[in-house]
Chains A and B, each alone.
Chain A
Amino acid sequence: MSAPELTEAPPVSAPATFPEPQREKGAVRSTIVRVVGSILLVAFALALLIPFAWMVLSSFKDSNEVFSVPVRWLPDTWHWEHYVDLWTKTDMATWLRNTIVLSTVVTFLQVLTGSFAAYGFAKVRFPGRDVLFLVYLATIAVPWQSYMIPQYIMLAQAHLTNTLLAIIVLQAFGAFGVFLMKQYFESIPEELSEAARIDGLNEYSIWARIMLPLSAPALASLALLTFVNTWNDYLGPLLYLRSKENWTVQLGLKNFVANNLDADYAMLFTGLTVSVIPIAIIFLLGQRFFVEGIATSGLKG
């Protein structure tokens, strides 16, 4: 329970009236806290990173070597050929293409319609607006699992099952985007829109030429979160994409193990590594936007 100590500012130096030994005791204690804190930090960092390291290192191993006892972390010889075979021996290329198409289209639609609707909620005053927004908000708390069946029945009647379009409509019109963008738009001073109106801009131009450029950070958060979510989505594709040519990366990799019992695990790890790399790059480039998007939407939700 030394952690609470760490939440505070560096210890204020004790008043000079304190006897000397007590000051020393405090200094020793703060060093102990510091060391324990650092050890905890390193332990957590290892726990976080080891699964990823194991995944990447295993992709370079020989298939039999993946489960050697005792565990060898580094491969005996580095098998780069998995990264070539992945494209010829599996349908990774098809899965990747489908996933990229889905993630891009969904992100584009979500950012466009989400920010457009958010402007209506944040900057246009009309009767019924707040009730409508409440409806949006309320559905965020409803778990998707509880309405996936009626949703499936509807999309099946529209003959959308087993098409990529099903995943697009499923993901592109979420309430989350509207919510995130509305929060941000409301922080932009009304005077800017007023000034633009006096200059003769209509509401659509204000959205396009004033609000959008000013809300670049929020747009980036929304775009990155949507892209990553769609990329990682497993359940949507599991329910809707039955035929192999429509599979996404997640569905393909999952079935890679399910379909052959003596699966080539080194190849599986290669596929997993390839599927995680784009997300890692996007995350490293835009981590600020991820954290801000999560923190603001979470805190005000």
Chain B
Amino acid sequence: MTSATADAIGSPPTPLKNRRSKLTLRNTMIGWSFILPNFIGFAIITLIPVITLFYVSLTDYNIFGKGDFIGFGNFEKLVSDPLFGRSVVNTFYYAVMHVPLTIAVSLGLALLLNTKLRGVAFFRTAAFFPYITSIVAIALVWNLLFSPDYGPINEFLRFIGIANPPGWLTSQEWAMPAIVIISTWRDMGYYMILFLAGLQTVPRELYEAARMDGTNALQRFWNVTLPGIRPTMFLVTVLLTIASFKIFDLIIVLSPGGTSAPNQATVVLSQFIYQKGFIESKFGYASAAAVVLFAICLGATVIQFFINKKRSA
């Protein structure tokens, strides 16, 4: 809008120019009238909070209202907070397990479903269903499936000869792997669909040509399939990484004990923010942790963007 009016004032009033700037003004009004109903909600709910986040993180804002500006005090406190350190380590631990595992499983599924095997159509539908089932239902059902003494999973493990199956969500070492299994189970259908779409863009002729050259299946996978789906691989990696760093709802449903000492095996960054902000009402302190989460997600995206650029160059 501003540029439209500036145009009208700054230029000599030739009839053509005038008419053009009038048209621009008219289009601007029409364009904004379309966007405004959504934009007002979007600005209040998303844009303004994102911007004010950085200010709140520099205050000691709490439940009693007005916070005072304290500079980087919150960030200094974060560095020496053992719970924060723990939650950052756990978040990375989760991401390091979840990202490769989900890529492997969902790509494997996509390769399997990109064939003419019987039942493929049914399976494409079934694989997607966990992704649209609520986290609460998934978490509660898997929590009981994983139950150490009475759960079907450990019973199956005992049946196949594992005498002392892990305590899963009740144990320090196995809680996080259990959560990774659940979230991979939930996510694989979604990423499988992205991979399937990517696989369909790889030209058939390339496989024919590679076959003529006498390559085996593994060589064709490395030299034809993987390069062919690189854009999809990039997209999936970025989406998965961001999703892993912000893992929250699954963990918060599965660990009712919150961040108290025996449950710290699965404390993650988002949960730390929730705990400090909504349970302990330290809004300023929690916002500082939120800025860290924001920076990690942004960093992950940028790094992957550059790696991808370098490889395709």
Stretch at the interface among A16-24, A74-82, A171-179, A186-194: A171-179
Q: Which residue of chain B has the shortest Cβ distance to A9 in the bound complex?
A: B204
Which positions 127-151 of chain A face chain B at CB distance < 8 Å?
A: 127-129, 132, 135-136, 139, 141-151
Q: How far is the CB of B146 from chain A (nearest CB, A)?
A: 11
- Are the CB atoms of B49 and A54 closer together than 8 Å? no
Q: Does B82 contact A (CB under 8 A)?
A: no
Bound-state Cα–Cα, A142 to B297, Å: 8
What residues on A are CB-neighbors of B126 within 8 Å? 45, 48-49
Q: How far is the CB of A90 from chain B (nearest CB, A)?
A: 15
Bound-state Cα–Cα, A238 to B24, Å: 46
- Are the CB atoms of A175 and B46 closer together than 8 Å? yes
Bound-state Cα–Cα, A285 to B253, Å: 29
With A3-B108, A117-B35, A301-B235 as contacts: A141 and B134 at CB distance below 8 Å: no
Q: Does A213 contact B (CB under 8 A)?
A: no
Bound-state Cα–Cα, A6 to B145, Å: 33
Number of A-B contacts (CB under 8 A): 310
- Are the CB atoms of B297 and A147 closer together than 8 Å? no
Q: How far is the CB of A12 from chain B (nearest CB, A)?
A: 7
Bound-state Cα–Cα, A284 to B128, Å: 11
CB-defined interface of A98-124 with B at 8 Å, one 1/0 digit per residue?
Answer: 000000000000001110110111001
Bound-state Cα–Cα, A12 to B217, Å: 14
Bound-state Cα–Cα, A269 to B293, Å: 35
Bound-state Cα–Cα, A47 to B134, Å: 18
Q: Does B170 contact A (CB under 8 A)?
A: no
Q: How far is the CB of A92 from chain B (nearest CB, A)?
A: 14
Bound-state Cα–Cα, A40 to B123, Å: 12
B32, B134, B217, B270 pick with most chain A CB within 10 angstroms: B134
Q: Does B109 contact A (CB under 8 A)?
A: yes
What residues on B are CB-neighbors of A299 within 8 Å? 194, 197-198, 232, 235
What residues on A are CB-neighbors of B157 within 8 Å? none
Which positions 261-301 of chain A face chain B at CB distance < 8 Å?
A: 265, 268-269, 272, 275-276, 279-280, 283-284, 287, 290-291, 294-295, 298-299, 301
B contact face: mostly helix, strand, loop, or mixed:
helix
Bound-state Cα–Cα, A268 to B144, Å: 11
Stretch at the interface among B73-81, B94-102, B112-120: B112-120
Q: Does A87 contact B (CB under 8 A)?
A: no
Q: Does A180 contact B (CB under 8 A)?
A: no
- Are the CB atoms of B123 and A44 closer together than 8 Å? yes
- Are the CB atoms of A4 and B44 closer together than 8 Å? no
Taking a contact as CB atoms closer than 8 A, the residue among A34, A41, A116 that contacts B34 in the complex is A116
What residues on B are CB-neighbors of A203 within 8 Å? 30, 34
What residues on B are CB-neighbors of A68 within 8 Å? 150
Q: Does A8 contact B (CB under 8 A)?
A: yes
Bound-state Cα–Cα, A157 to B135, Å: 30
With A37-B117, A143-B242, A143-B293 as contacts: A128 and B111 at CB distance below 8 Å: no
What residues on A are CB-neighbors of B297 within 8 Å? 141-143, 146
CB-defined interface of B6-40 with A at 8 Å, one 1/0 digit per residue?
Answer: 00000000000000000010011011111111111
In addition to A54-B141, A121-B34, A291-B193, 6 A-B residue pairs with Cβ atoms within 8 Å of each other are: A1-B221, A12-B208, A120-B34, A173-B41, A254-B140, A298-B194
> Could you tell me which A residues sit within 8 Å of B by CB distance?
1-10, 12, 34, 37-38, 40-41, 44-45, 47-49, 51-52, 54-55, 66-71, 112-114, 116-117, 119-121, 124-129, 132, 135-136, 139, 141-154, 169-170, 172-175, 177-178, 203, 207, 228, 231-232, 234-235, 238-239, 250, 253-254, 257-258, 265, 268-269, 272, 275-276, 279-280, 283-284, 287, 290-291, 294-295, 298-299, 301
> Could you tell me which B residues sit within 8 Å of A by CB distance?
1, 3-4, 24, 27-28, 30-42, 44-50, 52-53, 56, 61, 108-109, 111-112, 114-120, 122-130, 132-138, 140-142, 144-145, 147, 149-152, 155, 185, 189-190, 193-194, 196-199, 204, 207-208, 211, 217-218, 220-221, 225, 232, 235, 239, 242, 245-246, 248-249, 252-253, 256, 269-270, 273-274, 277-278, 283, 286-287, 290-291, 293-294, 297-298, 301
* 17 A-B pairs with C-beta separation under 8 A: A6-B111, A37-B115, A45-B123, A70-B155, A117-B34, A125-B27, A126-B28, A139-B50, A141-B297, A148-B277, A151-B46, A172-B41, A228-B132, A232-B134, A232-B136, A250-B136, A253-B137
